[in-house]
């Protein structure tokens, strides 16, 4: 049986690939509160926050712009520089952290930093990769 993406999954993909429309500050009531909080990370501070999609996301610690990670992002421990370097390299290469409930044939992200270069190389068309 072929599983089709749910509405929220489709939205997640659409946001990740960059053709989302972000409501302005006067867009009115937020649709569903905490459903719309998405992980954003600061690679300098090695921290992540759940931030509303509509807000201008800046790091509360260093005031730099936060990076939109996606709903499936799990922040590594602050002390785990290898994992932070890994997610930063993936992010910089366009990979976003989107919940995959099995409807896409997507290679899982590598566990270790040393595998990242090969992973990026062999996944130019990864479904969770933003085209630049």
Q: How many residues bind Zn ion (CB under 5 A)?
A: 6
Residue 69 near residue 62, CB atoms below 8 Å: no
Please list every residue from 88 through 117 that binds Zn ion, using CB under 5 A: none
**DSSP track, 59-82:** -TTT-PBPEE--TT--PPPTT-HH
What is the spatial distance between Cα 123 and Cα 113, in angstroms, rounded to a whole number? 16
Give min distance, CB of 72 to Zn ion, in A: 21
Give min distance, CB of 116 to Zn ion, in A: 22
Nearer to Zn ion, 49 or 119 (CB): 49
Token duo for residue 89: 């390299």
Nearer to Zn ion, 51 or 120 (CB): 51
Using rule CB under 5 A, residue 62 touches Zn ion: yes
Nearer to Zn ion, 35 or 44 (CB): 44
How far apart, in Å, are the Cα atoms of 1 and each of 9, 64, 102, 108? 18, 45, 12, 21
Please list every residue from 6 through 45 that binds Zn ion, using CB under 5 A: 42, 44-45
Nearer to Zn ion, 87 or 98 (CB): 87
């Amino acid at each position: 049986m072929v599983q089709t993406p749910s509405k929220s999954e489709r939205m997640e993909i659409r946001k990740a690939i960059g053709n989302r429309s972000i409501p302005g500050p006067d867009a009115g009531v937020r649709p569903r509160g905490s459903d719309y909080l998405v992980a954003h990370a600061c690679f300098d501070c090695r921290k992540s926050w759940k931030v509303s999609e509509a807000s201008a996301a800046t790091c509360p610690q260093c005031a730099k712009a936060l990076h939109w990670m996606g709903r499936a992002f799990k922040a590594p421990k602050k002390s785990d520089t290898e994992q932070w370097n890994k997610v930063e390299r993936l992010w910089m290469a366009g990979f976003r952290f989107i919940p995959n409930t099995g409807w896409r044939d997507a290679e899982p992200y590598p566990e270790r930093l040393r595998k990242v270069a090969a992973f990026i190389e062999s996944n130019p068309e990864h479904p969770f990769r933003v085209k630049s």
